[in-house]
Amino acid sequence: MAKADKSTAQRYARLVARRSPKPPVLRNAVTAFLGGGAICSLGQAVLGFFLVRGLTLGEAAITASAVMVGLGALLTGLGIYDEMGRWAGMGAALPITGFANSIVSPAMEYRREGLVLGVGARLFTIAGPVIVYAVAAALLASVVRLLVSGGLGG
């Protein structure tokens, strides 16, 4: 009986796997490459602009990120970035412009729920988890790095 149940479950799992739509993996990879590459090239122009003005690479990188965040937010407000996201997938979501999109998009969407629990809270729907695990992972990585190099308490 148990054996029959298992085989039924397996048949069902196979059926579900066969019937659920498969993502077009190759096409998605190509558009993610083109979209992500294009956004990073634009970022490179901004980065170069700040390097020319004499910023160090670290300063220029963080300043260029902030400019790209502003751009991503503006394109989201105009309704353009979500269109790009539908085409490029992670090519639009993974660059820092996509992080800005993940903040602006729900903030606009939930405006009708009010300024505090709508805009204020929903703003962090995706950015919240990203910041939480980034801080936790960064602290862990930093402490390990310091322990290995003997920099803690030294």
Partner 1 sequence: MDAATGLSLGGFVTAFVVGGLICVLAQLVLDLTRLTGAHVMVLFVVLGAAASGLGLYDPLIRFAGAGASIPLPAFGHALVQGMLKGAASTGLSGLLSGGLSAAALPLTVAILFGLAMALTFRPKG
Residues 16-45 that bind partner 1 (CB under 8 A): 23, 25, 28-29, 32-45
Which of 21, 97, 116, 121 touches partner 1 by CB under 8 A?
97
Which of 6, 11, 86, 111 touches partner 1 by CB under 8 A?
111
**133 near partner 1 (CB under 8 A):** yes
Sequence-ordered list of residues with C-beta below 8 angstroms from that of 113, at least 6 positions apart, any chain: 122
Q: Least distance in Å: CB of 67 to partner 1?
A: 8
Sequence-ordered list of residues with C-beta below 8 angstroms from that of 50, at least 6 positions apart, any chain: 59, 60, 63, 64
95-121-78 Cα angle (round to 5): 50
- Using DSSP, state whether 86 is helix, strand or coil: helix
**140 near partner 1 (CB under 8 A):** yes
**104 near partner 1 (CB under 8 A):** yes
Place of tokens 């690479």: 57
Q: Least distance in Å: CB of 12 to partner 1?
A: 17
**139 near partner 1 (CB under 8 A):** yes
Site for partner 1 in 51-80 (CB under 8 A): 51-52, 57-58, 61-66, 68-70, 73-74, 76-79
Residue 115 has which token pair?
A: 């300024």
Measured from the CB atom, the residue of 15 and 37 that comes closer to partner 1 is 37
Place of tokens 């920099």: 151
**134 near partner 1 (CB under 8 A):** yes
Closest CA to 96 of 136, 69, 123, 127: 69
Size of the site for partner 1 (CB under 8 A): 84
Please give the single-letter amino acid code of residue 81: Y
- The dihedrals phi and psi of 150, each to the nearest 5 degrees, come to 70, 25
